[in-house]
Structure 1
């Protein structure tokens, strides 16, 4: 089975040019030559115009970069623009999208200062969560945050600097852990190398597993970490660091122009398994049945960590799809990701376990679902075209993959109205699975109920 293009992909939209690495889902789909030509026409699709508040048009990129806040601002102007609390509760979105930006500009955020990095991260979330697709402007904003944070020394552990209090030092560790994860996550979503963070240049320690009540500004020293069985606000971030510490190596290996040695791939595969096994038991996904007493937030955290591991497996092995071991690893991971996509979709409905936290299913999840969809599309199309007659996949296995993809097709079709990437995924599936699976009104025909479990035969 031929592997996806190892040169990545360059997309042209009029005068605009965009590059993604070979690990990106769009480059994987380019491995299907005829589908590549077909999808190029879909680039003419224009995403829906962003919502406007009270007639104020919002730019297509982050307000901090493209908002045009060039007028002279004063502290009194900002204070006068703040509404009363009852009004603010109803207009919180407008507040974040106009005044968090003006305050940053007024405070000369590029010079650093108290709470600048924290405020920038809060502002980043207001840009990130509403969008179904990753925007290049958001990635540029992440680069700005990384540079300011490093300028302020967040990448160095505070224990080395006596002028930083134990409380401030621990809060800086928490902030840096978030920045590290965002840099890795957005670079993966954009199909680009990481920006400025290199492991050899940082020594910030992992945040301790402490509740907010365990320490404060007056603490002379930090208490020891709580056991991993105690779920604190810091535990999820620490768990992600354990996975991402291997994930950055996987991403760096995948972005290399030269094909890596297979021994290096297997070594990272083992490291990924070790990191996954080292997760706190409270952060391990073992199925919805074992989460009867857990909050929707914890359930989503467990699922996201599991999806991350599967996606890293695909990224690691996709260059070696001609080898049985890597092919099995890729296909198994892709199928498991799509099972979780269907579970998330089902449980995010009004009567589902995850409905209250459905807003947390962001473009980070979407990217991983796209990678899984793309790998299975490439595999099925290669088999159906007769390019790989020596593959030992069974007919039953292929039907199981198609069933998973048909369930995903219904999700992508539903999200196409607000996501350009979802529209491309739906179109790719229509092409790979055939028009018979898509109704004339653009909705999927009836398909098996979500929750079905599929396995990859050991003979693969």
Structure 2
């Protein structure tokens, strides 16, 4: 728990900042730094003074806060909102991009053939559909723009134009929700809200508390509208609507697990609170026409509209079981932990074959969307292993039945595999890579899990409990530090992580590591002392490592390699 001048913040023990926060001496050191900075310039660090780096490029022209929570100006009329739509041929391109580039988002919120009929009807008669349907359309356009692949060489005016459009369409989405009295529920409301939350998630580089509050609204909307109960309980819900409700609820579950975990908070939905079944492996075309009953699912060897969502739901329901155990205030035994370990491993084995992890060299004929899905699912599995086994990473055996060696090995392997995925994404999302068009999908949630894995490796290296894999850990941390350093200008979390990794590597690597730290990305020489002491640690900082400081708060000379230049 952190108490500050501008906010109080709690994060659970699985959060990367909490792992760091257990390094008591470093925590004290950076707490003193933060205190002196706040005394020196309090306005600079207040929540009302938000840095441009809080928001990624396409959000910089807008406020750093979630628009729905901070007083979006209401539209004066429905006509004003409709007037903001570009010509149909432009909207056509956005809608096409939405369905092809945002396949997982699209499949979870709309049934393609039904939407197409509504879409054509809207252009024939704009008054025919509800204001929340128009909000859904604006949210699709906004997400399509976010997914636009602008190269680094794109002219500035193109980027500025895209930024303005994203801000405008986000505003119109919120205005439609407000005009449609979204808290009352209704048709298209939850689907539009899901897209809106994803918009806010995409336009922020780091974890934002606003997103968690939006998630709370989303979850309560879904429950209030009965999405947590399977449609089979309600005879007035037809097969198509029922299956789409299952997809939407699966998306709510996924969002809860990811965003709550990112904020270091328990899930809002526990597995005991819902009985909505898993969606079937069906294409949208399987649900066309007047169907009296739901067709059987296709084999899971066949990639369909809903296969990715099914896989995400399976692994994240298992993560929910992990979170339920680790966030419980009641103590739990190693035996209980191993039961959840079995559930997690079973979920990983039940990932459909097309989405099972395989080497990049064996994926050259696969679509970028499929490759990203594999990386994400594997990453979530490793995240679950770290969450589950971290408690026993440095613990002594409490019982002869315990096997902490298994937990240590599992935790280390999961952290190293997470770092390998980070390296793959860093390389393949660059221009010319297999995932270049997917670079926008590497957001704060995936980066949060990379931070957690990084801090696990830092803790093991500092405590000299590396299971004989010192070089593997050092190599992974060097790669992670390089990535965090490149991203530190846009992400305060990356900046924090880079400083922590630099410190741990400097202590462990000796003179060899000094040369690695001499050049920043611009080619300028940089001293490690500047790297370490220039950190801006705000929420939780270092924990499980226990670095020692001199009485004055500085690092002892033996701990730091100075830049002699």
TM-score range, shorter chain: 0.7 to 0.9
Partner of 1:455: none
Q: Residue 34 of structure 1 aligns with which residue?
A: 25
Q: Residue 393 in 1 paired to residue 474 in 2?
A: no
The secondary structure found in structure 2 opposite 1:20 is coil
Structure 1 CA distance, aligned partners of 2:178 and 2:22?
Answer: 45
In the alignment, is residue 48 of structure 1 matched against residue 52 of structure 2? yes
Task: Name the SS of the counterpart of 2:10 in structure 1.
Answer: strand
Note closer, same or farther for the CA distance 1:297–1:53 as it changes in structure 2 (3 Å cut).
closer
**Does residue 1:22 correspond to 2:13, yes or no?**
yes
Question: Is residue 359 from structure 1 mapped to residue 432 from structure 2 by the alignment?
Answer: no
Q: CA deviation at 1:345?
A: 0.5
- Alpha-carbon deviation of 1:200? 2.2
* 1:210 aligned partner: 282
Q: 1:180 aligns with which of 253, 256, 268?
A: 253
Task: Describe the SS at the equivalent of 2:52.
Answer: coil
Q: Against the structure 1 CA distance between its residues 409 and 168, is the aligned structure 2 distance closer, same or farther, given a 3 Å change threshold?
A: same
Match of 1:378 in 2: 459
- Listed as ranges, the gaps of 5+ residues in structure 2 are 38-44, 95-160, 396-403, 507-512, 526-565
User: What corresponds to 1:3 in structure 2?
Assistant: none
Change (3 A) 1:443 1:12: farther
TM-score, normalised to structure 2, is 0.71
Alignment counterpart, residue 492 of structure 2, candidates 416, 420, 434: 420
Q: Deviations over 1:71-122 (max 9, x none)?
A: 4632122122333357766654133221111111001100011100000011
8 Å Cα contact 1:156/1:202 also seen in 2: yes
CA RMSD of aligned residues (A): 2.4
Q: Distance in 2 between matches of 1:366 and 1:176?
A: 25
Deviates further, 267-276 or 29-38:
29-38
8 A contact 2:271–2:317 mirrored in 1: no
Q: 1:309 aligns with which of 350, 367, 381?
A: 381
Give the C-alpha shift of residue 375 in structure 1: 0.4
Paired position in structure 2 for 1:251: 323
**SS at 1:343 equivalent:** helix
Rounded to whole Å, the distance in 1 between the matches of 2:522 and 2:408 is 32
Corresponding position of 1:100: 173
Q: In the alignment, what sits opposite 2:204?
A: 131
Shift of residue 212 of structure 1?
0.9
1:75 aligns with 2:78: yes
Higher RCO (C-alpha 8 Å, min separation 6) = 2
1:441 to 509, 520, 537: 520
Note the 1:250-399 alignment, pairs <5 A: 250-321=322-393, 322=395, 323-383=404-464, 391=465, 393-394=467-468, 397-399=469-471
Q: Which residue number corresponds to residue 551 of structure 2?
A: none
Q: Tell me, in whole angstroms, the C-alpha distance in 1 between the residues paired with 2:330 and 2:225.
A: 36
Report the CA distance shift for 1:283/1:87 in structure 2 as closer, same or farther (over 3 A). closer
TM-aligned CA distance change 1:232 to 1:380, over 3 Å: same
The equivalent of 1:155 in structure 2 is 228
Work out the CA distance in 2 between the residues paired with 1:84 and 1:392: 60
Unaligned 5+ segments in structure 1 are 1-9, 384-390, 447-460
SS at match of 2:8: strand
- SS of 2:299's partner is coil
Residue by residue over 1:280-309, the C-alpha shift from the partner in whole angstroms, topping out at 9 and shown as x without a partner, is 111110211221211011001011111111
Number of matched residues?
A: 425
8 A contact 1:240–1:305 mirrored in 2: yes
Cα deviation, residue 238, structure 1: 0.7
Whether the 8 Å contact between 1:156 and 1:203 is mirrored in structure 2 is: yes
Asked whether the 8 Å contact 2:56–2:205 carries over to 1, the reply is no
CA separation of 1:61 and 1:80: change in aligned 2, threshold 3 A: same
Q: Distance in 2 between matches of 1:208 and 1:241?
A: 12
Q: Closer, same or farther in 2 for the Cα pair 1:392/1:305, shift >3 Å?
A: closer
2:183 aligns with 110
- Residue 75 to residue 234, structure 1, CA distance change in 2 (3 Å): same
Once residues 178 and 351 of structure 1 are traced to their aligned partners in structure 2, the CA distance between those partners, rounded to angstroms, is 31
Residue by residue, what CA displacement relative to the aligned partner does 1:343-374 show, whole Å, maximum 9, x if unpaired? 11111110110101111112121111011001
CA pair 52-402 structure 1, distance change in 2 beyond 3 A: closer
**Aligned pairs for 1:7-18 within 5 A:** 10-18=1-9
